Structure 1
């Protein structure tokens, strides 16, 4: 928020009223686009007079905007519209952002005003929040945001919900540090649930799926970061209520969209002490729910707790017992593998990675890279597991072709690496010089077939440009033979080479230019 505010809550409400009365949705939408694209390139505020001057750039043209916050109707712009235009709207949004108010509320001013009205009706409940249960919080949030309607642009809906919750921070609520963490946690869970529900009702497209995964990623990172900074004792009541809420969401979760399972596993990994009695109590709660609901997300949650309890085999058996296990997304396995990494149970991780390899067949490179990163970690700690790693990667061919190639290079296994280059039809010019330098230094003899084959290829093309490439490679070959301290082999080869291609005058000329021939 600005250190010199020119807006307070009352003035903000009046600004929203002005926008709602004056602007149409198209102008506000365009203004919001200008604001998000940072096209308001300068903004100067005269605090005493409550006046604002700004520059908005559009396709290289600069529009000068002047706002009078005491008389908003007197605001003007140098564009042809002159007032109440998209440039003024963008300036109002930029000003709001700098003053600590949600710019998205200006774009949705009418809805924001309804929200303000709803806030007044909710004001009496604010004082009761610290004494409410988690279920009470969610009922409060449902009522507090009822006037915000989902739209096709799900991220806009997320921003509206967040803007609504920002207003809660302006009101003093007597939360303890622990309750403050849990209340913010449940605000994030509330938004995640709203988007998941919207996807279930309207169907999932690329854009809607991207929003929910982005929210899930954000929540995952937030839980990890807050664990580093918070220092409070475990609040048993809030923990019990939060776990119950997560189980309820997991019970209705799609077996391929395990967002709440991911939240549950991260929450337990970073914010819950691994006490045997607590885990046993949670397992009992899971088993009671699963008797009535065989959700795969609940099954995964129970398996995760078995793993934290030290029962790796039972965790695996629990997962594979579910009918939809073979359709599980690879994201499911990350919490299990992360826990084994934390526990440094490398041998067990080898068993899991071997059994999970089939899930990564044909998957995106990002997913396969995550799988391989665990193998690299295991092999660094347990070198004898390298054979298992190569077997798993071999089973995933051709998906892992690039990864195997990179691993050969990382491990300086030059012979299979070069064989892969030859098999793919690559030649030495495919790589930058520095890529082949360590091979020239450590195992120059391995480069001989690579260089010889490439020289023959360029000669067969029979044009001057490719002859030049062949000569460059021949000079590299000469260097390799010298590295091997076998100049006589080079002389014997080169003599035969010149004799074979003596009729190719252009090649002979290039050899002379390259100073390979007198």
Structure 2
């Protein structure tokens, strides 16, 4: 395993400053998109100051990053200087260091923000005494308050920021304003207060005008600005980190009412938020899933809790009428049936939800992680079989889905035929992972049959891609190369003749490796005779030293 090399705080601050100086905003945005699309592969930190990776673009580009001197970094792409591939690798550096990816993606704004904060330091130091007194008073009320009252207090504390532009700086300042009313809370209550603070700021970011009206989230026509989206992404990362901490309800059962109030709030927002065709899972749908997976389900010993939630969902949906999002309702019901181990009912609702627009693939696969963590491999295999064919978005990276199949097959070898059946049924969407798994499992003939049926030609692959087949089953490449060479000749132009000759030379090496030189000679004689009238082809054959 690659050793963990860590960047300290000073090195991280310097990297942000260097990135802001070296990259323009557009390149960082494009690099951020490449990172989000999981295009960075073979990532390695050679040391805390040097990184190497391969980034998928029009081709696969090798990237070498020198973190001490970005000007000495290199990418194989045609761009001279800083490029989106370099930026994507830097985002992966941030992820590997458990640092904020969005700080790098927004490096210029981060640096500008620090400058602005330095200028505002004097005014910040002069916060009015009345506001300090208000924070102190609210801190005394928070321990005995309900979640609804917490939100009222948060609104008072953040009121001076009402006209502030919604960006990462706003989110930081709003959280800081809420933190001024620091109250002495027990551990579970403290975690719930922090979660509600983050949810409060999240709502203010995604609601037009920043109004805190429960159940009135962004309208279908409302799109987040770039810097607002960065702030939302950072908040979601913070919520994930927060919910990874255990909620000690066993030692603090009095926190259950606040947890249920928090759930009721998130449930309402989840059922009413808009669902455009976005690359990201809807914000409160994500929070609802995480809340159940991380905090409620691990503390729920009685299935009655899930039955209560099913009833609450239907009551809430009935009260909302036309305002309820049916996809969100179906997904939430599916999760409850999952926890009740009624997989058939859960699958029925997932299938119904998948037929509706605005569904993010992660919402179909949200139950896979808990099953893998619990080691329920037979049940996980059944979920993979059922949910895979429901995926219909080419925007989704299926590598995590394929990874779950690999975990199942490693522990239940008898499940392998079900994996192949499911992946083949998902074609062409599953083409990438299907090919990779055929190679990983040494199914050379199946891999070649798939390439031929897909209309692929050897030029679609790098030489290194074909090396495993050439090593283990070279005879399978013969028809692949033969057919491609003949197709190139039929195009009857100089460029295609050169491509045909290049393939013929690779064929010659294959025949030699297989010790079938005589068969190669017979083929080449027949090929040359059959195309003897194509003078340009004959010239290329001579240049390639295939004929005298």
Fold in common (TM above 0.5):
yes
Shift of 1:439: 1.3
Query: Which of 422, 435, 450 in structure 1 is aligned with 2:480?
Result: 450
Asked if 1:335 is matched to 2:339, the reply is: no
TM-score by length of 1: 0.67
Write the distance in 2 (CA, Å) between the matches of 1:440 and 1:90.
Answer: 50
After superposition, the Cα gap between the structure-2 partners of 1:405 and 1:502, relative to the gap in structure 1 and judged at 3 Å, is same
Checking the alignment, whether the CA contact within 8 Å between 1:192 and 1:212 is kept in structure 2 is no
Checking the alignment, whether the CA contact within 8 Å between 1:115 and 1:147 is kept in structure 2 is no
Query: Which of 201, 214, 224 in structure 2 is aligned with 1:208?
Result: 224
Checking the alignment, whether the CA contact within 8 Å between 1:145 and 1:164 is kept in structure 2 is yes
**Secondary structure of the structure 1 residue equivalent to 2:365:** helix
Write the distance in 1 (CA, Å) between the matches of 2:313 and 2:475.
Answer: 65
Which residue matches 1:12? none
Structure 2 unaligned regions, length at least 5: 1-8, 10-16, 24-108, 210-215, 276-281, 319-323
For residues 329-364 of structure 1, the C-alpha deviation after alignment (integer angstroms, 9 at most, x for no partner) is: 433333322222222222223333333345322x13
Shift of 1:445: 0.8
Write the distance in 2 (CA, Å) between the matches of 1:326 and 1:244.
Answer: 32
Shift of 1:402: 4.0
Correspondence 1:283-294 to 2 at 5 A? 283-284=307-308, 286-288=310-312, 290-291=314-315, 293-294=317-318
Write the distance in 2 (CA, Å) between the matches of 1:499 and 1:206.
Answer: 67
After superposition, the Cα gap between the structure-2 partners of 1:144 and 1:437, relative to the gap in structure 1 and judged at 3 Å, is same
Which residue matches 2:294? 270
For residues 468-496 of structure 1, the C-alpha deviation after alignment (integer angstroms, 9 at most, x for no partner) is: 33332222111111222222211221222
TM-score by length of 2: 0.64
Write the distance in 2 (CA, Å) between the matches of 1:389 and 1:142.
Answer: 51
Which residue matches 2:159? 146
Shift of 1:231: 8.6
Checking the alignment, whether the CA contact within 8 Å between 1:393 and 1:404 is kept in structure 2 is yes
Which residue matches 1:190? 200
Query: Which of 329, 338, 351 in structure 2 is aligned with 1:307?
Result: 338
Asked if 1:351 is matched to 2:378, the reply is: no
Shift of 1:309: 4.9
Correspondence 1:106-255 to 2 at 5 A? 120-149=133-162, 155-156=166-167, 159-169=169-179, 173-198=183-208, 200=216, 203-205=219-221, 207-208=223-224, 218=234, 221-226=237-242, 234=250, 235-251=252-268, 253-254=271-272
Write the distance in 1 (CA, Å) between the matches of 2:444 and 2:178.
Answer: 61
Write the distance in 1 (CA, Å) between the matches of 2:534 and 2:305.
Answer: 84
Correspondence 1:421-440 to 2 at 5 A? 421-440=451-470
Write the distance in 2 (CA, Å) between the matches of 1:360 and 1:419.
Answer: 24
Checking the alignment, whether the CA contact within 8 Å between 1:40 and 1:94 is kept in structure 2 is no
After superposition, the Cα gap between the structure-2 partners of 1:249 and 1:516, relative to the gap in structure 1 and judged at 3 Å, is closer
Checking the alignment, whether the CA contact within 8 Å between 1:274 and 1:308 is kept in structure 2 is no
For residues 147-200 of structure 1, the C-alpha deviation after alignment (integer angstroms, 9 at most, x for no partner) is: 44478x6x43x6424313213445654344444322221111112333454394
Checking the alignment, whether the CA contact within 8 Å between 1:40 and 1:90 is kept in structure 2 is no
After superposition, the Cα gap between the structure-2 partners of 1:468 and 1:170, relative to the gap in structure 1 and judged at 3 Å, is same
Of 495-504 and 440-449, the range deviating more from structure 2: 495-504
Write the distance in 1 (CA, Å) between the matches of 2:226 and 2:112.
Answer: 29
For residues 292-335 of structure 1, the C-alpha deviation after alignment (integer angstroms, 9 at most, x for no partner) is: 64566566546534534544445446x469x8674354333333
Which residue matches 1:72? none
Structure 1 unaligned regions, length at least 5: 4-34, 42-88
Q: Which structure would you say has the larger Rg? A: 1
Write the distance in 2 (CA, Å) between the matches of 1:249 and 1:115.
Answer: 34
Shift of 1:220: 5.3
